Structure 1
């Protein structure tokens, strides 16, 4: 058994990096931007706690409930992805210590983590930040087990896998990649260790509520994956996926290469080769499936720890010690130079004026495979407050006697979530036939007024109403919601409540796999 390492050496140095991380995450977003469309959906889940959802497993909804209790302010919306990022960095720091790395290795790893795609990832309230934390924690448990051979770390591995499953199904790819990796490493004896199967049982028990929900609702995750493959992953270029893996780290990419080289040539890393093999198998799996490049981000925190320890050994004595600052600058300077390109620091108009710089880095390419005026995430953070103001104006114009018989229907989940976020308590909860809102549709015996948000009323809507008034449209041409309108329909047919119920049931069936 290996000797215990120091526990969190250089605490003040670690605290410095934590403070830098927190401050950086809050200053890289220009206040001109709204929240992201996905954030609004995730926040709305707090009002519909369940064991499962169409878009994500239930963990995000529980965090959203906590945010709601804290006041639903933007500060708290951004706080939790930052917290998950900080915890990931602390785990990297700790893994460096476990591998006998000194303060320079910790500084390298922390700088590489800060000056990377993780800062972009931790900018948005999505399941991805916690997903990366779970992958890192799972590797941490594996590393501890290899060091100590204590069965408790296998059991903790099961806990992390189960909780990670409740956050994002992506973690299953890591579990799948670890199986052949174990067969090619000294850890092949794991398959005869009863505690590995206990760990699997723990993971299954934790994930069981969501699994039951999926089965009872016809496995909508399959429908979600088919839609993802049909409309988004089909535009993923495998070569671009590979390029992104190093672009994620800019100047810090040498640490990833150092880790992989270390697994081959550095004797102290040999017991941990399962991690290197896992990286290879998971990456090949993602390439085969044409996965989005950021799906693989959970693989890299552990590699930053190994890479920094391996790199540090070349700069510990004599004149080489003077080169340490050079390697820190190699990591930090490229990131600082591209800071206002990677993050929404510039206003939308300023970005549009510098489109060539953004396009040269591939940042204007959206999931549809086409180039646009703004990066997709940035365009997804525009127009929501404008849309909320227009919709509230429409609702306030409805006669008082008809307000409790009014329903607001949006084209997509972003619109519905944004309106519920900004107009909560001022108007009825907004609904949609899109995404999770299908299951949250209210039942109304009578409808006297319909407010439609998105595209103009179609033939069916006009057939069941007598008048349509346009309140306005989103005027910002750089917003993804540009042109989305707000329309008030009156003279509603008595048949509408039953028709809405029927449409909702038909939509629910579309999400079922049987």
Structure 2
């Protein structure tokens, strides 16, 4: 390597390093302290205590991350670091994609800026499988681009590995495979089907994913039951217009790069050999639209499009500082404008004060199709410490804890208690998701700590009154902005009958609906 090449490489490394640091810092700095973990995050953190080859709602990879977090102490900021770091790795792959398609340093910086000034900034603040899902899709696109450009077999195996690990993180990546197949079939890229290495790579992917595949088979494919439940309770409210509008809203600040990426892949001759990417985008989007997929399911498709848009801008505008400077200024100014809509920088009171602004963009619309005071994700980040505190009050009053069951109304409540409780031996469970499989009742139940939903009837737990000698209401969640506001905590003591058998039959019945 010449001195000039070394200097260029060093310069690029410095810029990439700055973007990585910026990405991680912003993931912390742009989240208001009024917000706690999201309800889903508690479930994933609890999976570390129940390691398995699969779970009801997700594959096993995030449980491995949770186990590592638990090993390192499990602190709040450590949990936040993982999605931020995964987001930084996604930026690294975008940098590599731009380099692979002959983009210059300006194009690489534009691609990174477009990624940061978009929905990915928000996505990478949440400890959920979605961050790694986007990383896996982006890595898969990168390795396939490299393979079609150079036909080196190693990239096929790396592509297959990215798909397999992505599968172990979230089954959503199968939609990429579905979209890829017809896109490759209609172009010159279909010659890949004649390569024996493609089938060896598929075999490698199957071997990597095999533990989870066997887990699904042995349990009657719980993922299918989970998808049916989503279809019945959430996806039914997904409309075409809001779905498509969200795709634009996600990239309001990066819209020039997104549109440039789409248009150049269709019309720009130097990118003609990459048209399989735009066909993949179109076919995959059609599948999501047909299945009424949630808007964020598509996010793995966009980093590669932003990269192509950035390369085009880098090539065309590299000599016109005033032009690309204006584009950057627009991006940054618009980013500041939409930042409160993109990131949880506003407190709940500030959001309520600017309600019309949030309502205009459909951000107050929940999965039930109705508008509420806060965006659903933000309401899901409120009230958890209060729930754990009330459960602790009840827990401290029980003498014989070996015959106690702590049963929450949902997985968010159960996970929050297990994470925040000052009692390290507490084990809250619920009739939802994986918690249905985590009940431990070695001894007959004599007492229960029961949490109810916000809309449940109270009258001193009318349903359970015949089963216990004493029922005490410990308190209810007062946080006005939480989805759990109004949820109550009860202490039920002195079981009159065999409560254990009732609980076991209820568990079996609930499991049928998973």
What's the counterpart of residue 141 of structure 2? 139
1-structure distance, mates of 2:181, 2:422: 47
What's the counterpart of residue 431 of structure 1? 429
Structure 1 residues 379-388 or 499-508, which shifts more?
499-508
What's the counterpart of residue 82 of structure 1? 84
What's the counterpart of residue 476 of structure 1? 479
Summarize the alignment of residues 94-493 of structure 1 with structure 2, pairs less than 5 Å apart: 94-317=96-319, 320-398=320-398, 400=399, 402-423=400-421, 425-455=423-453, 456=458, 458-493=461-496
Q: 1:248 to 1:8 in 2, by over 3 A?
A: farther
What's the counterpart of residue 48 of structure 1? 50
The answer (yes or no) to whether the contact 2:54–2:60 under 8 Å persists in 1 is yes
| TM-superposed deviation, 1:242 | 1.3
The answer (yes or no) to whether the contact 2:446–2:493 under 8 Å persists in 1 is yes
2-structure distance, mates of 1:273, 1:369: 37
Q: 1:81 to 1:335 in 2, by over 3 A?
A: same
SS at match of 2:26: helix
> Where do 5+ consecutive residues of structure 2 fail to align?
none
Is 1:507 the counterpart of 2:500? The answer is no
The answer (yes or no) to whether the contact 1:407–1:447 under 8 Å persists in 2 is yes
Structure 1 residues 373-382 or 189-198, which shifts more?
189-198
The answer (yes or no) to whether the contact 1:96–1:309 under 8 Å persists in 2 is yes
2-structure distance, mates of 1:462, 1:51: 40
2-structure distance, mates of 1:94, 1:443: 52
SS at match of 2:64: helix
| TM-superposed deviation, 1:341 | 2.8
The answer (yes or no) to whether the contact 1:394–1:488 under 8 Å persists in 2 is yes
1-structure distance, mates of 2:84, 2:103: 26
Q: Could you report, residue by residue, the CA deviation over 1:367-415 in whole angstroms, capped at 9, with x for unpaired residues?
A: 11110000001000000001111110111122x2x22221110010000
SS at match of 2:368: coil
2-structure distance, mates of 1:45, 1:7: 42
The answer (yes or no) to whether the contact 2:477–2:487 under 8 Å persists in 1 is yes
Give the TM-score normalised by the residue count of structure 2. Answer: 0.95
Structure 1 residues 347-356 or 73-82, which shifts more?
347-356
| TM-superposed deviation, 1:20 | 1.1
Give the TM-score normalised by the residue count of structure 1. Answer: 0.95
The answer (yes or no) to whether the contact 2:183–2:283 under 8 Å persists in 1 is yes
2-structure distance, mates of 1:200, 1:424: 48
The answer (yes or no) to whether the contact 2:106–2:314 under 8 Å persists in 1 is yes
2-structure distance, mates of 1:200, 1:332: 42
Q: Could you report, residue by residue, the CA deviation over 1:301-337 in whole angstroms, capped at 9, with x for unpaired residues?
A: 11111111112222133xx232121111122211111
The answer (yes or no) to whether the contact 1:170–1:295 under 8 Å persists in 2 is yes
The answer (yes or no) to whether the contact 1:407–1:428 under 8 Å persists in 2 is no
> Between Structure 1 and Structure 2, how many residues are aligned?
504
CA root-mean-square deviation: 1.7
| TM-superposed deviation, 1:71 | 0.5
The answer (yes or no) to whether the contact 1:145–1:151 under 8 Å persists in 2 is yes
Q: 1:104 to 1:369 in 2, by over 3 A?
A: same
Q: 1:341 to 1:267 in 2, by over 3 A?
A: closer
| TM-superposed deviation, 1:340 | 2.3
